[in-house]
């Protein structure tokens, strides 16, 4: 039976690879809060806390989250890795670091393989990520669709099986 959730259960999660990303990612948090939607923000690193990234991704849907915004800089694997572990929509925010000015992060996030989409916004444009997350909530009628989620989960499993069947 579906768990009863309060209207104050966060529907959008903002995750980022480091606390140093927060200066950019807070723009997403602010616009979501301005629209009166509850959001939760936390640091989850694909490289430094991979176990926690797995745990977060695997329980996000069950906990009532409907959209994930993930920001990362440099070898920005967080949005793509999270997208590979959940049936929730993931919006990626490329964060600019001083060396390559965010082009590295942008390409890391946007160049996802077929079958594992990440909606990528412009470099440092966490504001747009927040707005897009709100639009996804609004158009989805702010409800989950268990049948569609099941089909998406089966699709994700089919990608895995296809790779495991390959022989060189
Ligand atoms: C990435 O490395 C983070 O997303 C951040 O943008 C970048 C630098 O992290 P810190 O060295 O500031 O922790 O994984």
Indicate which residue's Cα is closest to atom 1 of ligand 1. Answer: 73
Tally the C-alpha atoms within 13 A of residue 20's C-alpha that lie toward its C-beta.
8
Distance from Cα 72 to the centre of ligand 1, integer Å = 7
54, burial (CB in 10 Å: exposed 0-12, middle 13-18, buried 19+): middle
Percent helix / strand / coil, the chain, rounded to 5:
45, 15, 40
Write the pLDDT tens digit of every residue in 75-122: 999 999 999 999 999 999 999 999 999 999 999 999 999 999 999 999
| CB 21 near ligand 1, within 6 Å | yes
115: left (phi over 0), alpha (psi -120 to 50) or beta: left
pTM of the model: 0.90
Indicate which residue's Cα is closest to atom 3 of ligand 1. Answer: 17
> Which helix (H) or strand (E) element contains residue 1?
none
| CB 44 near ligand 1, within 6 Å | no
What confidence score (pLDDT) does residue 142 get?
Answer: 57
Q: Which of 18, 19, 103 to mutate to test the pocket of ligand 1 (most atoms within 8 A of CB)?
A: 18
Alpha carbon distance, N-terminus to C-terminus of the chain: 44
């Amino acid at each position: 039976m579906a768990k009863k959730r309060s209207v104050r259960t966060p529907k959008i999660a903002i995750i980022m690879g480091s606390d140093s990303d927060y200066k950019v990612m807070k723009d997403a948090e602010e616009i979501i809060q301005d629209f009166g939607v509850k959001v939760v923000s936390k640091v989850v690193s694909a490289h430094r806390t991979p176990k926690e990234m797995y745990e977060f991704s695997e329980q996000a849907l069950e906990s009532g989250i409907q959209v994930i915004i993930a920001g990362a800089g440099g070898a920005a694997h967080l949005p793509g890795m999270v997208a590979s572990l959940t049936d929730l929509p993931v919006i990626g925010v490329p964060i600019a670091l001083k060396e390559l000015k965010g082009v590295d992060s942008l390409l890391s996030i946007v160049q996802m393989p077929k079958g594992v989409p990440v909606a990528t916004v412009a470099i440092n444009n966490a504001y747009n990520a927040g707005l897009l997350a709100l639009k996804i909530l609004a158009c989805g009628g702010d409800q989950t669709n268990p049948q569609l989620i099941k089909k998406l989960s089966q699709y994700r499993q089919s990608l895995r099986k296809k790779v495991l069947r390959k022989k060189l």
